[in-house]
Structure 1
Amino acid sequence: MTDFTNERFPTSALYAAGALIAIAVITVGSIRAGVLPAPETAPESRVRRHVAVATTRDFRFEDRADGALLVTDVAANKLVFIFQPGTNTGFIRGVMRGMMRERRLHEVPRSGAVTVTQWEDGALTLEDKTTGRILELGSFGQTNRAAFAQLLVPYQKGGSGVPAEPIIPVMPDASSAPFLSGPG
């Protein structure tokens, strides 16, 4: 058996780790103090590049007693989507719970609308104007982005506009989406 009592930790590794930590602290402090410029955010980038809004709509989300998710078009004051219990709405529900939690922390009403915006550059955002929170939905992956993108389909150019009856999306069957059918 080897006795490590006479072994010494390399001091150069300690100095390198300390230097790395010091550089990180100085960089973050400089950005916070305004000495170094902060990285440009996606909304700032769109303003700088003059990216136009392709489609935007305010929606209000609520859970129904049976577990369905109801989506109301605020401008039309009309129920436009009903996601039945068991449909793939986990991402929408998760995002909305996070926004409602933030509203509670900001002590603002939780019943307000959120804005879903499709930009000309392809970006899709969700904005809560009561708290100032903006989520870039593309950063959550294509499938999750599509969950919110489907809400804007009727409002896009050439679309039907406010649906006459609520749209009830259906889950694809297992034959068209084998990854949904589980192991088999």
Structure 2
Amino acid sequence: MILRMNTIRIQNYIALFVVIVLVGVVFVVANVVQSGKSEIQVDASVIAKKTLFFRDLPDGSVGVISASSGKMIAQVEGQAGFVRGILRALARERRIQQITSDDAFELMSRSDGRLTLVDLATGNRIDLESFGRDNAAQFAAFLNSAGQ
């Protein structure tokens, strides 16, 4: 009888252990699933905004033109890898959606330090500070240039 009670007691401990492990697994899985969800971040207020056109020029450079004045405010020459890379990505999306390249882009500086480029034709946006301060500064120069 003593041996039998020990066997029952051992089985109870094993059952309790299995239940605890299963509960732990459920909590871990729930945590992993929850952490994979993206949270929508509310945009900070806009402190500066400029609507721009980017045009290919005959000499191979890219002209940055203010939409409000029609004046060229900057000229991107040579490789200018980051600026050209961002523009290529946005132009590719326009080609996929069969949208002409005549529509403008909106460049916004936000109160939290973010710099956002929005393609007004497709609605795509790129948070430029995600690529580093130096890369974002190349676009920030367009906000600070004359030719409103």
Q: One fold, TM greater than 0.5? A: yes
**C-alpha separation between the residues in 1 aligned to 2:87 and 2:112?**
25
Does residue 103 of structure 2 align to residue 112 of structure 1?
yes
| Structure 1: tracts of 5 or more residues without a match | 1-18, 155-160, 164-184
Contact 1:58 1:74 in 2 (8 A): yes
Counterpart mapping for 1:23-172 below 5 A? 27=33, 38-41=37-40, 44-46=41-43, 51-84=44-77, 86=78, 89-154=80-145, 161-162=146-147
- What one-letter code is carried by the residue in structure 2 that aligns with 1:93? R
More helix by share: 2
Contact 2:53 2:66 in 1 (8 A): yes
When the two structures are superposed, what TM-score results if normalisation uses the length of structure 2? 0.70
When the two structures are superposed, what TM-score results if normalisation uses the length of structure 1? 0.58
Partner-residue secondary structure (3-state), 2:42: helix
Q: Could you tell me how far 1:37 is from its partner in structure 2?
A: 9.2
Q: Could you tell me how far 1:130 is from its partner in structure 2?
A: 1.5
Between structure 1 and structure 2, the one with the greater Rg is: 2
Contact 1:89 1:147 in 2 (8 A): no
| Structure 2: tracts of 5 or more residues without a match | 1-24
CA RMSD of aligned residues (A): 2.5
Partner-residue secondary structure (3-state), 1:95: helix
Superimposed CA distance per residue, residues 49-107 of structure 1 (whole angstroms, 9 cap, x where no aligned partner): xx3211001111122121222110011122111233x3x62111111111011011112
Contact 1:126 1:137 in 2 (8 A): yes
